Amino acid sequence: MASDDINEKTGLTSPLRRQLLKGMAAVPAMAAFGGAARSSFAADGVNTTGLAVTDTEVTVGILHSVTGTMAISETGSVQAEKLAIEQINAMGGVLGRKIKYIQEDGASDWPTFAEKAKKLLVNDKCASVFGCWTSASRKAVLPVFEQYNGMLYYPTFYEGLEQSKNVIYTGQEATQQIIAGLDWVVKEKGAKTFYLLGSDYIWPRTSNKIARKHIENFQKLEVVGEEYFPLGHTQFNSVINKIKLKKPDVIYAIIVGGSNVAFYKQLKAAGFDLENKQTLLTISVTEDEILGIGGENIVGAYACMKYFQSLDNENNKKFVAAFKEMWGKDIVIGDVTQAAYLGPWLWKATVEKAGSFDIDKVAAASPGIEFTGAPEGYVRIHENHHLWSKTRVGRARTDGQYDVVYETADLVEPNPFPKGYQ
Amino acid sequence: MRGDAAMFDYSFAELSSILVMQGFAGLILFSVFVLMALGLAIIFGQMGVINMAHGEFMILGAYVTYLTSHLFTEFLPFAYPAYFFFAMIFAFIAAGALGLLVEWVMIRHLYARPLDTLLATWGLSLILQQIFRSTFGAREVGVELPDWMMGSLNVTDSIEVQINGLFVMGLTAAITAAVLVLLFKSRWGLQVRAVTTNRTMSGAVGIDTRRVDRMTFGLGCGVAGVAGAAFTMIGSTGPTSGQLYIVDTFLVVVFGGAQSLLGTVASAFTISQSQSALEFFISGSMAKVITLLIVIGLLMLRPQGLFVLKVRR
């Protein structure tokens, strides 16, 4: 029918064109047949909702920016997810099925993320998606994952205030990362006054809000300044002068992206000695960022997060070795990269516990899932779909790595909706 | 707010030394603005080409600096402390050569359609970004500087002056002077100014306007390359870092009056001083908002910018 209509309108008469058009008309019929074929898998119970699962293969999605301004940060996550998938396949896959991934590029553009997420869920029927990096991209895809009932493993440390059946947050939420670090710096450095800095968007602002509440209401100490800069800001001399005047015990910096490079270079040029004189605590500089900043410009700064490449345990040694073998010996691994690596492994463990790829069953089976092979040590999924994890403080070295100087004794409970901090 | 009230608790000596350093911070910002706007002022002001890829030419200069630093560490370690000067020359040559090529391939076909240059060079900026990404990787690269360029000079106990700030100021002064001499004292500069004033008549009196255009575009791009090399001292070097500069650059050039180099300098001074002073008293984001509001207000009163060149059209 369709082909006849087109022929009438366009007057195409060539036999080849006619054949092509007939072929196109047949596509929907094939799709319907495919649907029927898939439904036969319902019998074996691992896939009752029509996900892209065959007897030998399961399809997942990877959704990060590999072009645009966020490619700098998201590259590591893509690499970690591919490594995890390769390792899982080498072990025999998930429920006996090899993982096949479809990678889509969010292109650092939030509507593109939403569109690609929809494509991965609706067209490709991905059994799970590993992806997103910025909170903005996650907020953009969240309604898509909820509407089409997909499963997202999100790797970045973020501001909290969110929880969804369709998302597993493998990075730390703000209180996990912030409170332990502030307590440490007060106990260890006797800090009394703080100067808060940040890039001007949701994550630094929310994180600094939590930090300020903790400093003022719980630690009963003083915040002497709080400032935000547009993303991409490159001139910090004025604020550096202000810091000189206020002389805070701790500079607490949540600056992201290229601005970081400008900030630390100018801080050093202004004569701040992070090694001996000035304490600086950041939650936004991983080994990845130091590549751009240059180790000599940030040596002595403290960072508070859950993972550092230098962590001394067997899991991590194996992970770092495998990562370098796959992606080159000069590569560095930051906190988020490690968190991205957890995604496929947690999903595999959850699917195997649930005995099914069905999203609802995976979501229900998630709380309590453990991963003992995590490079950061041991993690467990909480009822609220975030991870129990330890928090660590590292001190930057000239070679761009961190020395771990502190580690919480126990796993820190994730608390995305903290009382008294909002 | 508590912090602001505390501003009055400091001694006179402390406040005056901060005042000096703050003045210096303003001067550094001024130099940075002039340096990044100079190349664009030449291209946009003299030729009317809206070069959206200006930032990418700067980042090309930054990447050349990165490569030069590696080259020197590898093969000429004894000359490492001086590598930065060579890097700036290489950056000028690389960005200038690319500029000549771009002019020949693309821009020369668009002189009659100045608004289309905006679209074409924007496309060019995307292409260049992806080339950088494919060549150097999506991650930022760290450009190491010789030790003598880091740190600060202690003028008094409490006043410290940043060496790389002084370096940028010196460089800006030198390049601005060179460009001014070139434009107003050389034969080529005379030709450029003649073409700007009246393209048809210049052609009629025997000036090769095509060659003048090509050299002007190349010079503008080359200067952008040097600026990019200098900015490795204060900013990041990544495939999309050029985007960080483009807005400020256009702001300075348009506010100054597109065709006047003096206007560019004056506008860089106004914007940098107000921004740096505002940043000291209120927060960074608000300082930017207020600066932009002031600029918009002034441009509404004086749409042609601060300084105008009298041109017969």
| H or E segment and range at residue A64 | strand A57-64
Q: Is the pLDDT of residue A10 over 70?
A: no
Residue B146: is its pLDDT beyond 60?
yes
Q: What is the pLDDT of residue B8?
A: 53
Are the beta carbons of B264 and B252 closer than 8 angstroms? yes
A194 within a domain of the structure (yes/no): yes
Nearest CB partner across the interface for A68, out of B28, B240, B241: B240
A265 or A231, higher pLDDT: A265
User: Which structural domain range is residue A39 located in?
Assistant: 2-44
Q: How far apart are CA B41 and CA B44, in angstroms?
A: 5
Q: Among B122-136, B147-161, B275-289, B290-304, which is the least confidently predicted range?
A: B147-161
**Nearest residue of B to residue A289, measured between CA atoms:** B140
Cα–Cα dist B87/B69, whole Å: 8
CB B257 within 8 A of CB B305: yes
- Mean pLDDT for the stretch of residues A77-101: 96
Q: Do A261 and B141 touch (CB under 8 A)?
A: no
Give residue A294's pLDDT.
87
For residues A239 and A111, state if they share a domain. no
Nearest alpha carbon to residue B142 among A76, A291, A289, A333: A291
Q: How far apart are CA B40 and CA B264, in angstroms?
A: 10
Which chain A residues are Cβ-neighbours of B142 within 8 angstroms? Answer: 261, 290-295
A177 has which bridge partners? none
A156 and A280 both lie in a single domain: no
Mean pLDDT of B282-293: 85
User: CA gyration radius for chain A?
Assistant: 24
Whether B252 contacts B33, CB under 8 Å: yes
Name which of B236, B273, B276, B291 to mutate to probe chain A: the one with the most chain A Cβ atoms within 10 A of its Cβ.
B236
For residue A254, pLDDT over 90 is answered with yes
Looking at the predicted structure, is the pLDDT value of residue B83 above 80? Answer: yes
Question: Rounded to whole angstroms, how far apart are CA atoms A388 and A283?
Answer: 18
CATH of the domain at A318: 3.40.50.2300
Confidence of residue B287 (pLDDT cuts 50, 70, 90): confident
Query: Comparing A404 with A70, which gets the higher pLDDT?
Result: A404
| B chain contacts of residue A240, beta-carbon cutoff 8 Å | 25
Domain annotation covers residue A421: no
| CA dist., res. A54 & res. A96, Å (int) | 10
Mean pLDDT, range B53-62, rounded to an integer: 94
Band (pLDDT 50/70/90 cuts) for residue A41 is very low
Could you tell me if B73 lies within 8 Å of chain A, comparing CB atoms? no
Judged by average pLDDT, the poorest of B74-78, B152-156, B249-253 is: B152-156
Average pLDDT over residues B128-139: 87
Lowest mean pLDDT among A35-39, A105-109, A188-192, B160-164: A35-39
CA nearest to B148 within chain A: A269
* Mean pLDDT across chain A: 88
Q: Are residues A317 and A370 in the same domain?
A: yes
- Using a CB-CB cut-off of 8 Å, the residues of chain B touching A223 are 3
Higher per-residue confidence, A291 vs A34:
A291
Residues with Cβ < 8 Å from A167, sequence gap 6 or more? Answer: A138, A142, A145, A151, A152, A153, A154, A385
Structural domains in chain A (count): 3
A311 pLDDT exceeds 50?
yes
- Kindly indicate the confidence band of residue A42, based on its pLDDT and cuts at 50, 70 and 90: very low
Touching A: B residues 249-308, CB under 8 Å: 275-277, 279-280, 283-285, 287-288
pLDDT value at residue A44: 62
- Do both A193 and A264 map to the same domain? yes
What is residue A232's three-state secondary structure?
Answer: coil
Identify whether the C-beta of residue B290 lies closer than 8 Å to the C-beta of residue B60: no
Is the CB of A247 inside 8 Å of chain B's CB atoms? no
- Name residues whose C-beta falls within 8 Å of residue A12's C-beta, 6 or more positions apart in sequence: A6, A18, A21
Residue A23 has pLDDT above 50, yes or no: no
Q: Which residue has the tokens 């505002």?
A: B278
Q: Is the dihedral of CA B74, B78, B79, B83 positive or negative?
A: positive
CA dihedral A337, A338, A341, A342 (to 10 degrees): -140
Q: Residue B18's closest chain A neighbor by CA?
A: A241
| Confidence at residue A170, expressed as pLDDT on a 0 to 100 scale | 97
A284 & A403 share domain: yes
Residue A51 lies in a domain: no
CA distances in angstroms from A215 to A192, A194, A199, A254, A306, listed in the order given: 9, 8, 20, 16, 21
Q: Which residue has the higher pLDDT, A121 or B44?
A: A121
The structure's pTM equals: 0.82
Is residue B140 a contact partner of residue A291, using CB atoms and an 8 Å limit?
yes
B228 near A CB under 8 A: no
Cβ pair A67, A102 in contact under 8 A: no
Predicted local confidence at residue B312, as pLDDT: 52
**pLDDT value at residue A406:** 95
Mean pLDDT across A90-100: 95
Angle CA(B165)–CA(A395)–CA(A263) in degrees, nearest 5?
25
Same domain, A223 and A269: yes
pLDDT category at A38 given cuts 50, 70, 90 is very low
Q: Which residues pair with A281 in a beta bridge?
A: A252, A302
| Largest distance between two CA atoms of chain B | 70
For residues A280 and A201, membership in a common domain is answered with yes
Considering the domain architecture, whether residues A14 and A141 belong to the same structural domain is answered as: no
> Could you tell me which chain A residue has the CA closest to the CA of B15?
A245
Report pLDDT for A30: 43
Is residue B221 within 8 A of residue B95, CB to CB? The reply is yes
pLDDT of residue A166: 96
Total beta-carbon pairs less than 8 A apart between chain A and chain B: 152
Give me the pLDDT at residue A372, please. 94
Q: Cβ of B167 under 8 Å from any chain A Cβ?
A: no
Residue A323 CB: number of other CB atoms within 10 A? 22
- Chain A residue whose CA is closest to B246: A232
Range in A314-328, A378-392, B290-304 the model is least confident about: B290-304
**How close B73 gets to chain A, by Cα (Å)?**
16
**Residue of A185, A154, A52 lying closest to A387 (CA atoms):** A154
Contact A245 B237 (CB under 8 A): no
Averaged pLDDT for residues B13-21: 80
How much is the average pLDDT of A49-60? 93
Give the residue from B16, B34, B140 with the most A CB atoms within 10 Å of its CB, the best one to mutate.
B140
Lowest mean pLDDT, pick from A15-24, A82-91, A331-340:
A15-24
**Min Cα separation A292/chain B (Å):** 4
Give me the mean pLDDT over the A189-194 stretch: 94
Task: Give the per-residue pLDDT at A207.
Answer: 92
Co-location of A204 and A277 in the same domain? yes
Q: Which A-chain residues 273-292 have CB contacts (< 8 A) with chain B?
A: 288-292
The residue among A363 and B233 whose pLDDT is bigger is A363
**A 201-220 residues inside an 8 A Cβ radius of B:** none
Give yes or no for residue A338 having a pLDDT over 90. Answer: yes
Q: Which of B9, B14, B126, B234 to mutate to test the interface with A (most CBs of A within 10 A)?
A: B234
B284/A234 touch (CB, cutoff 8 Å), yes or no:
no
On chain B, the residues whose CB falls within 8 A of the CB of A259 are 236
Whether residue A415 is contained in a domain is answered as no
Over residues A262-267, the mean pLDDT reads 90
The pLDDT mean for chain B works out to: 85
* DSSP element (H, E) containing B280: helix B261-281
Place B46 in a pLDDT band, splitting at 50, 70 and 90. Answer: confident
pLDDT at A407: 95
Q: Contacts of residue A228 in chain B, CB cutoff 8 Å?
A: 283-285
Tell me if A233 and B284 make a contact (CB, 8 A cut-off): yes
- HEC profile of B246-257: HHHHHHHHHHHC
- SS3 at position A62: strand
Average pLDDT score over residue span B273-296: 86
Q: What is the pLDDT of residue B310?
A: 60
Distance set, CA A116 to CA A109, A127, A201 (Å): 11, 15, 24
| A413 band by pLDDT with thresholds 50, 70 and 90 | very high
Is A387's pLDDT higher than 90? yes
Share of chain A above pLDDT 70, in %: 90
pLDDT score for B9: 63
CA B182 to chain CA mean position, Å: 18
* Top-ranked range on mean pLDDT: pick from A395-399, B82-86, B251-255, B286-290: A395-399
Query: Does A188 share its domain with A149?
Result: no
Report CA torsion sign: A296, B234, B287, B154: positive
> For B143-154, what is the HEC assignment?
CCCCHHHCCEEE
A200 lies within 8 A of chain B by CB: yes
Query: Under a CB-based contact definition with an 8 Å cutoff, are residues A302 and A324 in contact?
Result: no
pLDDT for the residue numbered A230:
84
The pLDDT of residue B5 is above 60: no
What pLDDT is stored for residue B243 in this prediction? 82
Share of chain B above pLDDT 70, in %: 95
Number of H helices, E strands in chain A: 14, 15
Query: Does A27 lie in the same domain as A112?
Result: no
| In the predicted structure, residue B49 carries a pLDDT above the cut 50 | yes
Res. A4: pLDDT tops 50: no
- Cα→Cα distances A41→A34, A51, A128, A365, Å: 12, 10, 18, 21
Region A245-261: mean pLDDT is 90
DSSP class of residue B103 equals H
pLDDT tens, position by position, A121-172:
999 999 999 999 989 899 999 999 999 999 999 999 999 999 999 999 999 9
Rounded to an integer, the average pLDDT of B45-63 is: 89
Residues A229 and A358 in one domain: no
Q: How confident is the model at residue B263 (pLDDT cuts 50, 70, 90)?
A: confident
Q: Does B163 touch chain A (CB under 8 A)?
A: yes
The set of residues, in sequence order, having a beta carbon less than 8 Å from that of A211 and lying 6+ positions away, is A178, A182, A194, A196, A252
Question: B19 vs A360, which has greater pLDDT?
Answer: A360
Tokens of A192: 């009394």
Residues with Cβ within 8 Å of B211's Cβ and at least 6 positions away in sequence, in order, are: none
**Would you call A221 helix, strand, or coil by DSSP?**
coil
Rounded Cα–Cα distance for residues B142 and A50 (Å): 48
Enumerate residues 6+ apart whose C-beta is below 8 A from A315: A373, A374, A375, A377
The percent helix, strand, coil of chain B (3-state, each to 5) is 75, 5, 20
**Tokens standing for residue A159:** 């501001």
